[in-house]
Structure 1
């Protein structure tokens, strides 16, 4: 019998650390490099499950903290698990709630035992410990669960980041002691802020746990892009070669391409749907505001090279009309297009690795370079 989880590298770039891989899960294969859409509350905002499948999405994210608040993990478990609850039969990953330690810092209190929140819904006291985060994720039943970690803000002092790393490593041990679901992989998360020695130490500690996958967190939290690139270059050589490498919270084209060049495989971000809800489309490496009057009489497809529903059936003028009119359909179509764009981009990088031209087309990728138009 094959193990429920395995990762195989299928192609490599001879000039960079970029690689293609196949991550096998109980609900299917994730071909890497791959962007993963974020469905925080078991829903990609404004997008149906069949529409999401059409974008080429393979693995989708949901969030432990938010699903614990509403509807509650027991409701999801009673429905047969998260896959059945949201009608998605492909691979799923649940974030542990660790990011909410960072993003909801104003309403939480952190100590070595865990985090105490005040519910933004009713003010109720909620305690999230490493054990509780894992118990919730096991009840939700996603293919991949993330360890509970402390993501320090940017900027933070070296003392504060060192304390967050110590706590993250201790919490990872507690997560490992609690997790016992054989059909669910547990990924560890390395932290370290912008301090090189802390980044290296944390990556070594998490890598030594020999988990099915490893994530690098604490990026895309307000630091300059150049700082993110420095972190990627610093930790990449320390990541276990035979495991999937996940760069959390990153979904911009340039940053994904640079990370892939250093051996990262998986990415997630709320960017495509957030931009779509605000009337912005990702086209050719640029962000187009469809409210702009220049689109009013433009009856060409949004992106002729894209096969998404928005580009296949509708014009820029129609999308402009929907956004200016406040129609929900406009937001859905742009969200679908943006997700498809990021999936296409990571798929194009995979093809370039297989074809031996990744270093020419994508490493590093710049929005105004000729490579912007090769995919």
Structure 2
């Protein structure tokens, strides 16, 4: 794995992440949310339509504790081969934001407590690395002990100590032939001192990059901004930085502005489940032309949308033959209309979710 920063603008930066088999991921970039190794709604043959905006997936070892388990994945030759997704990078991340909002309870020196599809489980470094090693991922995030913003100072300090201890154990269980693919987790909840201690100690380990954990667990936006800025100044600039637990567009922009390179998000998944499409303009030169032909804010509110998204379940789009976003060149907007997707949703066709998530 190789990472290079091409240019900076204040804290934000553009770069490229070179993964195995010549796969290059442009940063800042999104890791596609997966369930059991594949995106929830987009079939593999359509994933190429997301290029170059998405070239890597976030995969969760928690999904492979039972069926399929690590043995099944290892016998298949790794997760890429098991799910037949060889053209995309895979980053193993412990946290499943859809299933688990960690409250810090249940974790112990034996391992971290997670909510899984088979109930709450305590997963230690040995079990975690058994699954990660079976994956043969392009990158993997070490096992963290994440706690919410309201925990006591003593519990927060313990979470930092445990995360560092588990990082050392995870590194010792990483096969030497895989090379250095670990992203060490930085935790510390809302304590700036503990965040900085975690960052400084993690930076002394032999890791390929860093993952900022413990966000999206009760802190406010102002706290998050201060913590990210303080933490990132303590980390080597030449190594890749990942964040988990945030997802709203404004949160992603805040993170990218601070210097985050790679992120995962459940926001597109949740909008898709609700029948929504994101419609905020990406090309500011065309934004006014697009907005001139759009419904007013009051009309959008009545249909269940706003200036950043539209509700395709609404009867307001039953006869609307416009694309989701006028001028957009994505697969969905080039080939399909709002009226068609409204029809797919109301007749419970799975294609609706596929088109919305794309």
Do both proteins adopt the same fold according to a TM-score greater than 0.5, normalized to the shorter chain?
Answer: yes
Decide which moves more: 92-101 or 74-83.
92-101
| SS of match in other structure, 1:61 | strand
Shift of the 134–305 alpha-carbon distance from structure 1 to 2, 3 Å rule, reads farther
**CA distance 1:165–1:203, shift in 2 (3 Å):** same
1:229 aligned residue (203, 225, 244): 225
Q: 1:144: which partner in 2?
A: 139
* 1:233 Cα offset (Å): 2.1
CA distance in 2, matches of 1:119, 1:246: 23
Show CA shifts across 1:20-42 (max 9, x none). 11211214121111111111311
- Distance in structure 2 (CA, Å) of the matches to 1:55 and 1:129: 35
2:48 — aligned with what?
A: 53
- What residue in structure 1 maps to residue 14 of structure 2? 20
- 1:62 to 2:59 alignment: yes
Is 2:75 the counterpart of 1:78? yes
Q: Which digits, 9 at most, give the CA deviation of each residue in 1:286-310, with x for residues without a partner?
A: 1221112322221110012322222
Relative contact order higher in (CA < 8 Å, ≥ 6 apart): 1
> Structure 1 stretch 286-295 or stretch 166-175: which is displaced more?
286-295
Partner of 1:133: 128
Gaps of 5+ in 2: 282-307
Local SS of the residue matching 2:39: coil
Which residue, out of 136, 155, 159, partners 1:160?
A: 155
1:365 maps to none
Shift of 1:91: 1.2
The alignment partner of 1:111 has SS state of coil
Contact 1:61–1:94 at 8 Å: present in 2 too? yes
- Are the structure 2 counterparts of residues 189 and 98 from structure 1 closer, same or farther at C-alpha, using a change threshold of 3 Å? farther
User: What does residue 320 of structure 1 align with?
Assistant: 342
* Counterpart position of 1:175: 170
Match status 1:111 vs 2:79:
no
**What TM-score, normalized to structure 1?**
0.81
Partner SS for 1:238: coil
CA contact (8 A) 2:188 2:214 kept: yes
- Counterpart-to-counterpart distance in 2, 1:117 and 1:166: 19
**Correspondent of 1:239 among 222, 235, 250:** 235
SS in 2 for 1:320: helix
In the superposition, the TM-score normalised over structure 2's length comes to 0.84
Unmatched 5+ stretches in structure 1: 337-375
Q: CA RMSD in A?
A: 2.3
